Amino acid sequence: MTSSELQPRQDAAAALRLLSDGELDLEGRLVDASNTTLRGILTIDGMTARCVYKPVRGERPLWDFPDGTLAGREVAAYLVSRATGWDLVPPTVLRDGPFGPGSCQLWIDEPEDAEPLVGFVPADAVPPRWFPVAAARDDDDGAAYALAHADDPRLARLAVLDAVLNNADRKGGHVLVGPDDRIYGVDHGVCFHVEEKLRTVLWGWAGRQLPPDAVEMLEALAGQVAGALGEELAEHLTIGEVAELAVRVDRLRESGRFPPPPEDWPAMPWPPM
């Protein structure tokens, strides 16, 4: 089975086994990442797949998140995503690797012809069924642009998940279109803070009513956080962080609407893409 055949939706169990127990050989470093982020190849029993390995020792200290916790938050985001039934985060585990313990996530190959769902577009040519969410200017000629994203139900689900996770860094580049035409969100190291820190480029639905499938998901998720899912998350998050996750789920259920941008916290990550 090759990496192109092993897709997370098709065989999550095989992917998790490969991520947890496969032999990990590193290919190189993703130099644009703020923390040490390495791409590798996993092999076990004839199965192979690429992965992203983020060792704890390569995490840059942050003022608002405890040191050495980002890898666990990556895994926790996958566990919540899996519990929603939406499978928006690629399979992710915590394992030992060449540079010690770290998160290991299945690599998602974007097709060359994949249409972007988030990006900068000319301000006077925002595509139909796209939401402009911020204004921008070209550094060279001053031309007006808009940061915008598609009014796509797959993205709307990701926006709901980000609100649940309290994602402080949903950049446009963290939204991937897989070869199975599903979208995936990656890079969840700064999620689950006990204070409100939602920072995202997906503000197009802010204040709008949640779709019925999101309401149904939140109803089911509330029970899972109070049960087995909460116990799983406790291996990676503090008691307070799991409790606040439950609070956010309840708040979304009660409001029935996408959250508005914060007033006392930057609404956009930087850089946005």
Identify which of 24, 105, 32, 118 has the alpha carbon closest to the alpha carbon of residue 70: 105
Q: In tens digits, what is the pLDDT along the chain, a chain of 273 residues?
A: 344 445 544 588 899 999 999 999 999 999 888 899 999 999 999 899 999 999 999 999 999 999 999 999 999 999 999 999 999 999 999 999 999 999 999 999 998 888 899 999 999 999 999 999 999 998 888 899 999 999 999 999 999 999 999 999 999 999 999 988 899 999 999 999 999 999 999 999 999 999 999 999 999 999 999 999 999 999 999 999 999 999 999 999 999 999 999 988 899 999 999
Question: What pLDDT was estimated at residue 8?
Answer: 47
* Number of CB atoms found within 10 A of residue 4's CB: 10
pLDDT in the model for residue 2: 42
> What pLDDT does residue 180 have?
82
Within 8 A by CB and 6+ apart from 41, the residues are: 3, 24, 25, 27, 48, 49, 50, 51
Q: Which two tokens stand for residue 237?
A: 């998050």
pLDDT score at 181: 85
User: Which residue from 171, 170, 177, 174 is spatially nearest to 152, judged by alpha carbons?
Assistant: 177
Tokens 């996530």 correspond to 105
pTM of the predicted protein model: 0.94
Instruction: Return the pLDDT at 93.
Output: 98
Of 125, 135, 106, the residue nearest 272 (C-alpha): 135
